[in-house]
Amino acid sequence: RDWSSDVCSSDLKVLYRKYRPQNFNDLYGQDSIKEILKDSIINNKLAHAYCFNGPRGTGKTSTAKLFAKAINCENTKDGIACGECNSCKNFNENPDIIEIDAASNNGVEEIRELRDNVKILPSNSKYKIYIIDEVHMLTTGAFNALLKTLEEPPAHIIFILATTEPQKLPATILSRCQRFDFKKISNDNIEKRLNFVCEQSNIDITPEAKKLIAILAEGAMRDALSILERCMQEEGKITEDLVKELVGIPKTESVNKITKSILQKNTEDALDAINEIISEGKDISNFLWEIIKYVKDILV
């Protein structure tokens, strides 16, 4: 389930952009990938192409940006960007860091233009770095055009491809990339990040609410911050019940009521409970999910 779909798109931008990691120390949940990338910078063993794949909201694009920042940093320390040099300070405006959304720039002409531009040397950086997001959206012709560049890239070029669906990438593309599989972020790591964000933003929230948000995010840090952002629109302390109300999850009392009715084979009470849930505007699939989780917790 995509819980973030319940949130207005204009509300999504603030927290997850405001608290986007600024260096590898801020990156949660992808420790092994982080260490390998840092080592490649320390030992100056950079590949010409990388493929970051994994579920949405797990830090693929953020990691790509942090990696690009560290690669061009003038004073890296232990593979981490210093944040103080000109390259770091001007990273967001650096013309040598090119971000491409393949979902909207997926044609042959766009990739051919890219292929022509890679020949141009970086203007003020060590490397010109192309970050291609949702790369699986490229057309067959665009992949063929990109392949020619990946086969013999100029020494000053690094490609970072990000995708949620690596199985859609041609084997010829994957074979020319160093591949990193991003995993879902653990609930503990999401809670740690929520603690940091809530402290920095003075958000009044209960531990139970943070735990629930971490569970609902299902391993996606961006979704967790999106849900938190939605809860902030309401007045007062953010509680577990408030989170459930905003994402359409029935209260435990309702789940308990229908579970008892099922166990007692009381059809009338069960139907009454379901009608009550529907009349409150709750999503019935979320309700079923809560029943399953509730019974599983009792069994455990």
Tens of pLDDT, residues 98-128:
998 888 877 788 888 888 888 889 888 899 9
State the CB neighbour count (10 A cutoff) for residue 73.
Answer: 24
Q: What is the amino acid identity at position 23?
A: N
Q: Which residues pair with 161 in a beta bridge?
A: 51, 132
pLDDT of residue 179: 94
pLDDT of residue 208: 93
CA 290 to chain centre: 25
pLDDT of residue 8: 40
pLDDT of residue 12: 38
State the CB neighbour count (10 A cutoff) for residue 255.
Answer: 20
Q: Specify whether the CB–CB gap between 15 and 225 falls below 8 A.
A: yes
What's the whole-model pTM score?
0.78
Look at residue 162 and give its three-state secondary structure.
Answer: strand
Is 287 exposed, middle or buried (CB count within 10 Å of its CB: 0-12, 13-18, 19+)?
Answer: buried
Q: Which residues pair with 180 in a beta bridge?
A: 52
Per-residue tokens: 172: 């010829």
Low-confidence ranges of the chain (pLDDT < 70): 1-14
pLDDT of residue 1: 45
pLDDT of residue 235: 81
Look at residue 168 and give its three-state secondary structure.
Answer: helix
Q: Which residue has the tokens 């830090």?
A: 59
pLDDT of residue 28: 84
CA 278 to chain centre: 32
pLDDT of residue 14: 67
